[in-house]
Amino acid sequence: MTTLITNIGSLLTNDPELGTLTDAAIVLDGDQVAWVGAAAAAPDADERVDAEARAVIPGFVDSHSHMVFGGDRTAEFNARMSGKPYTAGGIRTTVAATRASSDEALERNLRRFIGEMLRQGTTTVEVKSGYGLTVEDEARALRIAAAHTPETTYLGAHVVAPEFADDPAAYVDLVTGPMLDACAPYARYVDVFCERGAFDGDQARAVLTAGAARGLTPRVHANQLTEGPGVQLAVELGAASADHCTHLSDADVKALADAHATTVATLLPGAEFSTRAVYPDARRLIDAGATVALSTDCNPGSSFTSSMPFCIAVAVRDMGMTPDEAVVAATLGGARALRRTDVGHLAVGARADLVLLDAPSHVHLAYRPGVPLVSAVWQGGARVC
Ligand SMILES: [Zn+2]
């Protein structure tokens, strides 16, 4: 089954040779892109779609989310936005609700968010564990996630489990021992929240090296709330990404620039938006030469958005990115953060994941914030929205 999408006003390929094409067409064959070029030269196909001079982009690659959870945190958000002090219930509130949820309820929730993402153009998504914090609950979260995406991340080291509040070292032993054994079969990556109040540099190193020894690729929640060792550790261990990167020293920026081919700086503006915090400085990272990705961080506490277009608009408005840079970061950047070469771009042989926008250009994703511009979505060559 082949599909020709033609009369494309603007086709963002993210391919260094093709660039952005006008008056373009693309042919999908099975789950791959089979042809890209000028509409006038396009071959025939079984099915023909007229893009009506609108824009086509690669499907978004959302490389950081926490979508296996129970309950929500509406009251906490409402209190925070009402200027009231809120207690450090935080992640632990969601841990309790997640442990109390049935497998079916967790899966229903995950499906709902993946569906939301698809309708907003996200065709690849990473999902983390981290709201179970017991051997059984972490393995359960990853088993459920792995049924819906190959991009799963073991985050037993999200926070110290409440049962281990007085003995964090014992919790790190659990995370690097029996919990890792139970989770590794369902995970591709290992992650740790390296932050004051979560895990320090030594603990984070122990978690990441134990995961790497089991074949999991490291990624790090780094430098979100304060400057700390997270970014340097990510770079030193060859992590696929250092995520958040909100508070960076000059040495951190240089380390990410030097590691641009290995470790992606993944920026998560939904977190700063939802906590009224200062945004990361994307301009500083890009100008230094770092590879940057944008992602939603979709989670019930600090960033309850599933929308990549929203993140693009914020990144352009408040983080110094150009519209081109933001859309590339949300597609190719995310693919690089997941070490995927088949998604995030549109060239012959790439996976046929693409989005038709109700706009003449991908710039409209930032130019028209909050407007539902996703008109159609193909995932693996099949039209899904
Ligand atoms: Zn996160």
Would the pLDDT of 373 be above 80? yes
Question: 209 and 349 share a domain?
Answer: no
Instruction: Extract the annotated binding site for Zn(2+).
Output: 64, 66, 221, 297
Question: 18 and 127 share a domain?
Answer: no
Between 84 and 120, name the one with better pLDDT.
Answer: 120
Would the pLDDT of 129 be above 60? yes
Furthest-apart CA atoms within the chain: distance in Å: 69
Closest CA to 359 of 314, 312, 321: 312
The pLDDT assigned to 144 comes to 98
Question: 350 and 332 share a domain?
Answer: no
Whichever domain contains 47, its CATH number is 2.30.40.10
- Tell me how far the alpha carbon of residue 357 lies from the centroid of ligand 1, in angstroms: 28
**CB of 3 within 8 A of CB of 47?**
yes
Question: 70 and 52 share a domain?
Answer: no
- Mean pLDDT over 183-196 rounds to 97
- Convert the pLDDT of each residue in 59-108 to its tens digit: 999 999 999 999 999 999 999 999 887 655 688 899 999 999 999 999 99
The pLDDT assigned to 90 comes to 83
- Tell me how far the alpha carbon of residue 271 lies from the centroid of ligand 1, in angstroms: 9
- Mean pLDDT over 246-272 rounds to 98
- Convert the pLDDT of each residue in 198-230 to its tens digit: 999 999 999 999 999 999 999 999 999 999 999
Instruction: Extract the annotated binding site for 4-imidazolone-5-propanoate.
Output: 73, 131, 158, 224, 302
Other beta carbons less than 10 A from residue 281's beta carbon:
18
Instruction: Extract the annotated binding site for Fe(3+).
Output: 64, 66, 221, 297
Whichever domain contains 323, its CATH number is 3.20.20.140
- Convert the pLDDT of each residue in 18-53 to its tens digit: 999 999 999 999 999 999 999 999 999 999 999 999
- Tell me how far the alpha carbon of residue 163 lies from the centroid of ligand 1, in angstroms: 22
The pLDDT assigned to 84 comes to 81
- Tell me how far the alpha carbon of residue 325 lies from the centroid of ligand 1, in angstroms: 22
Question: 357 and 244 share a domain?
Answer: no
Amino acid code (one letter) for 279: Y
- Tell me how far the alpha carbon of residue 270 lies from the centroid of ligand 1, in angstroms: 10
Question: 239 and 350 share a domain?
Answer: no
Instruction: In whole angstroms, give the CA distance from residue 241 to residue 29.
Output: 32
Would the pLDDT of 196 be above 70? yes
Question: 54 and 64 share a domain?
Answer: no
Which tokens belong to 6?
């033609």
- Mean pLDDT over 299-310 rounds to 97
- Tell me how far the alpha carbon of residue 177 lies from the centroid of ligand 1, in angstroms: 22
- Mean pLDDT over 317-325 rounds to 98
- Tell me how far the alpha carbon of residue 154 lies from the centroid of ligand 1, in angstroms: 12
- Tell me how far the alpha carbon of residue 24 lies from the centroid of ligand 1, in angstroms: 37
Let me know if 275 is exposed, middle or buried by CB neighbors in 10 A (0-12, 13-18, 19+).
middle
Question: 21 and 91 share a domain?
Answer: no
- Mean pLDDT over 254-263 rounds to 98
- Tell me how far the alpha carbon of residue 342 lies from the centroid of ligand 1, in angstroms: 24
Instruction: Extract the annotated binding site for N-formimidoyl-L-glutamate.
Output: 131, 299, 301
**For residues 145-158, b (16+ Cβ closer than 10 Å) or e, as one string?**
bbebbebbbbbbbb
Pairing of strands 60-62, 122-125: parallel
- Mean pLDDT over 299-314 rounds to 97
Local confidence band at 312 (pLDDT 50, 70, 90 cut-offs): very high
Local confidence band at 128 (pLDDT 50, 70, 90 cut-offs): very high
- Tell me how far the alpha carbon of residue 238 lies from the centroid of ligand 1, in angstroms: 19
End-to-end CA distance of the chain: 18
The pLDDT assigned to 89 comes to 62
Tell me the sheet residues that pair with 355: 57, 377
DSSP 185: G
- Tell me how far the alpha carbon of residue 244 lies from the centroid of ligand 1, in angstroms: 8
- Tell me how far the alpha carbon of residue 175 lies from the centroid of ligand 1, in angstroms: 18
- Tell me how far the alpha carbon of residue 169 lies from the centroid of ligand 1, in angstroms: 22
Would the pLDDT of 298 be above 60? yes
- Tell me how far the alpha carbon of residue 34 lies from the centroid of ligand 1, in angstroms: 36
**CB of 255 within 8 A of CB of 232?**
yes
The pLDDT assigned to 86 comes to 61
Let me know if 304 is exposed, middle or buried by CB neighbors in 10 A (0-12, 13-18, 19+).
middle
Rg for the chain (alpha carbons), in Å?
20
Which range of residues forms the domain containing residue 51? Answer: 2-58+344-383
Instruction: In whole angstroms, give the CA distance from residue 208 to residue 212.
Output: 6
- Describe the crossing of helices 201-213 and 168-176 by its angle, rounded to 10 degrees: 20
Question: 212 and 351 share a domain?
Answer: no
- Mean pLDDT over 286-295 rounds to 98
- Tell me how far the alpha carbon of residue 1 lies from the centroid of ligand 1, in angstroms: 39
Would the pLDDT of 295 be above 60? yes
- What is the SS3 assignment for 92? helix
Instruction: In whole angstroms, give the CA distance from residue 226 to residue 363.
Output: 33
Question: 53 and 66 share a domain?
Answer: no
- Mean pLDDT over 121-135 rounds to 98
Question: 158 and 251 share a domain?
Answer: yes
Instruction: Extract the annotated binding site.
Output: 64, 66, 73, 131, 158, 221, 224, 297, 299, 301-302
Question: 43 and 77 share a domain?
Answer: no
How many domains does the chain contain in total? 2
- Tell me how far the alpha carbon of residue 265 lies from the centroid of ligand 1, in angstroms: 13
**CB of 136 within 8 A of CB of 146?**
no
Average pLDDT of the chain, as a whole number: 97
- Tell me how far the alpha carbon of residue 303 lies from the centroid of ligand 1, in angstroms: 9
Local confidence band at 337 (pLDDT 50, 70, 90 cut-offs): very high
Task: Give the predicted TM-score (pTM) of the model.
Answer: 0.98
Pairing of strands 20-29, 241-244: unpaired
Residues whose CB falls within 8 Å of the CB of residue 45, separated by 6 or more in sequence, listed in order: 2, 3, 4, 27, 28
Closest CA to 185 of 122, 223, 242, 135: 135
